[in-house]
Amino acid sequence: MATITILDLDVSDIVPGQQITAAEMITRIEALETWCQLVADNAFNADGSVQMTGHIQMNSKKVTGMLDGTADKDGATVGQIGILTNSISVNNEAVNVKIFGATGDGTDQTTEIAAAVASISGSGVVYFPEGIYLISSTITIPTGVVLQGINTHYSGGQGTRITSTVAAAACFQMGDGSTLTHSGGVKNMRITASGAGIDGTGIYLYYTRWCVIDSVNVTGFTTGTGIQIGGQASGGGAAAQNTVSNVYLNTNLVNLLLTGENANNTSSCDEAIFTNVRIAPAGLANSVGLRMNKGLNNSFRSLVMSDSGGTTAGTIGIDIANGGATVDSLAARGNTFVMTAIENFSTAIQIGTTPHSNTFLETRLHIQETKTMLSDSSGGGNRFIGISGSENLAQDSMIYTPYNPLNLAVNSEFERWDAGTAVAPTGWSLGGNDGESVARSADKRKGTYSAALTSASENARLLQTLPVYAHLKGHYVSASCWVKANYTPSAASRVQLRIDDGVGNTKSKTHSGGDSWELLTVKRKIDGSATKVQFDIDMANATDTIEIDQAQISEGIDVPLPGGTPITESTLPDNAISLLSTTIVPLNANGDTAIYTVPTGKTCILSHGVLVGGADAGTSDISIGQNGAETDFVGVTNLDNLDAANEMVLIAPVPSATPATLKAYAAATVIEAQVSNEDGGATNTLYLYGMLF
């Protein structure tokens, strides 16, 4: 026996699961004289040869076509359908709005549609036959309920059309913002605002999960929103894992809006999938294609935006805004756009200061007029890979290059120990409490050495402060480092990587303590009021020794992965001028500071030094030479011109008409900087350049 479920018959008098005869079914079909949607299970012709699925098209009480099916019933009388089955099983959880009095003639159908939705217990489908349905107040869709219309693709006519007069609220709303609603949706219909100036919303998913919007057109909300998806009103719940596909949004002030109700928690639109979405402002001034105030890990594929009439004033294609988030971690982040096309918007893509880690792959931007193509104010917090477009792309884009692969750390492989093997390695210093120590270690991950940091009491910290950082303010910096530690982590006891800008700091995850090498990574947006950029390995309340190797800090959002050949004394190029050392030289105390030791088997000729001030040097003097003769390379040089932090001066022998003979320093010679007339700050960085042979 075959089973056929007909979704739009008047079945209000039938008990769910009750079987009726084919003759009774025919009588009900004859009463429709329109469309009915049919789902068949094991439905065959009399000879059992053809399975029937899809829709039955009714015209003058005859079956005139089988859409989406293979059975050919053209011209057959209604009565002949009885040969397909012996009985009918009616599903009362699929209801037709016309059963509840909706006429589809353009008059107000709000009460009838609400009654149809309310009639479903559990899950089910509310079916809208072809017609025009006016809605004057919000229809709330409960969990498990799908509103299903007829697309013009199937009907060949106007299909299912919803006309909304709802002001300052949604026409269709799933969820109330407080309790999670799931597994429902809206399919196959057009939703149009009734007249100009409607400030409502077409569809609003308000704290929902696993809901679907498919084959829908929302249009005409010229002061409102097409589709909105938002998180919980309070409590931090996200609208998650919803799907929007095959959607056309046009002539809405904001066509697609992703947001959260509370800027200080995790309420947002997360992990949604958007595919084949077409957006058009259609000449509406200040229209926005997609506005994302808050969102995490959403995926957009084949997002097409175009204003065919030319560029309209104030329009924005994609606007990833700050959303009122008070910290970067709550901003729109981790979203991916694949194959996006934006044409003829005043601004194609606009990104605020706090959104980060959003990726655009294969994006095409085209504007006929000279407008803003791309504006990213995040400080390199987002990735743009494969952008193409018109000749205006380069000249009108304002994009910060998000990734600079240069390693800003000095002696990042811990191969150089110019001041000795039981003190901080070259370019690094200690910054924890009394009792900490660092020494060269052969327990390395790569190269020859690592740094062994020991804490005798509470905290230990091995740090490096970038000598030049002003250009990093407002931009992202990322760091990584391999660390080996054997301890028991706790809330108080931990080993972490940290970036500190003097205003705040960001820490990596905690090392697991499993006595193995682990890569710790961290990234931070440097504050606009930063007083430093410091990169450190922090050991808190862990009385132990840890090994540190292959540190890297780079400009940009992409966390650098340490690798490549470590730079050691033996790999510095011979017979070529290169950076020999980087050393902190205090100008607030007279005395000598060791800045370089000539490697074994090498001879060194110095070329020059560059001193980066940590503060005004005042009247301080400096000279450079070997231990015991600290003026034999550069004599006493006054630093009057070093007036502020981050200013630089060149320190080199004074040229003369007769070139001076450069001094060659033998292996093991210690080069020192000597300070006199101290009058400056404690943290000045001296870069020493020269040649080995």
Burial 547-577, CB ≥16 within 10 A → b, else e: bbbbbbbbbbbbbbebeeebbbbeebeeeee
Whether 595 and 672 map to the same domain: the answer is: yes
Same domain membership, residue 579 and residue 546: no
With cut-offs at 50, 70 and 90, classify the pLDDT of residue 165: very high
In the predicted model, what is the mean pLDDT of the chain? 80
Which two structure tokens, joined as six digits, stand for 642? 């070093």
513 and 584 together in one domain: no
In CATH, what number is assigned to the domain containing residue 672?
Answer: 2.60.120
452 and 539 inside one domain? yes
User: Are 48 and 20 in the same domain?
Assistant: yes
Contact 93, 121 (CB under 8 A): yes
Instruction: Give the pLDDT band of residue 392 (cuts 50, 70, 90).
Output: low
**Structure confidence by residue, pLDDT tens digits, 22-81:** 556 556 655 554 444 444 433 433 443 333 333 333 333 333 333 333 333 333 333 233
Residue 30 CA to residue 24 CA, distance in Å, equals 10
The band of 400, judged by pLDDT with boundaries at 50, 70 and 90, is very low
Find out whether 424 and 462 touch, Cβ atoms under 8 Å: yes
Pairwise CA distance, residues 646 & 651, whole Å: 16
Q: Calculate mean pLDDT across residues 246-275.
A: 88
Q: What pTM was estimated for this model as a whole?
A: 0.64
* Residues 546 and 613 occupy one common structural domain: no
Query: Comparing C-alpha atoms, which of 207, 307, 290, 287 is closest to residue 247?
Result: 290
Q: Check whether residue 548 and residue 576 sit in a common domain.
A: no
Tell me if 447 is assigned to some domain.
Answer: yes
| 268 lies in some domain | no
Q: What is the number of structural domains in the chain? A: 3
Q: Rounded to 5, what percent of the chain is helix, strand, coil? A: 5, 45, 45
Judge whether 565 lies within some domain.
no
For residues 463 and 548, membership in a common domain is answered with yes
Cβ contacts of residue 664 below 8 Å, gap of 6+? 603, 604, 605
C-alpha–C-alpha distance, residues 550 and 216, integer Å: 53
**Domain membership flag for residue 58:** yes
DSSP type of residue 663:
P
Q: What is the mean pLDDT of residues 376-389?
A: 79
Does 48 reside within a domain? Answer: yes
Same domain, 604 and 662: yes
CATH of the domain at 459: 2.60.120.260
Range of the domain at 520: 429-556
Q: What is the pLDDT of residue 247?
A: 96
Q: Which of 521, 556, 591 is the last residue of a domain?
A: 556
CA 390 to CA 365: how far, in whole Å? 7
> Is the residue at 203 inside a domain?
no
- Write down which residue in 530, 556, 582 finishes a domain: 556
The confidence score (pLDDT) of residue 184 equals 94
- Of the given ranges (367-371, 395-399, 509-513, 630-634), which has the lowest mean pLDDT? 395-399
Instruction: Give tens-digit pLDDT for 563-600.
Output: 543 444 444 555 678 788 878 899 999 999 988 888 88
Which H or E element spans position 318? strand 312-320
In this predicted structure, the answer to whether residue 402 has a pLDDT above a threshold of 70 is no
In a domain, 69, yes or no: yes
Q: What is the pLDDT of residue 104?
A: 93
Q: With 0-12 CB in 10 A as exposed, 13-18 as middle and 19+ as buried, what is 600?
A: exposed
Are 550 and 576 within one domain?
Answer: no
| Best mean pLDDT range from 74-83, 128-137, 390-399, 489-498 | 128-137
**Given 89, 120, 154, which residue is the final one in a domain?**
89
What is the 3-class SS of 349-382, one letter each residue?
EEECCCCECCEEEEEEEECCCCCEEEEECCCCCC
* 538 and 600 share one domain: no
Print burial letters for 232-243: b (CB count within 10 Å at least 16), e (below 16).
beeeebbbbebe
Please check the confidence at residue 485 and state whether its pLDDT lies above 70: yes
Residues 530 and 608 in one domain: no
Decide if 658 is inside a domain: yes
- Angle CA 563–567–571, to nearest 5: 130
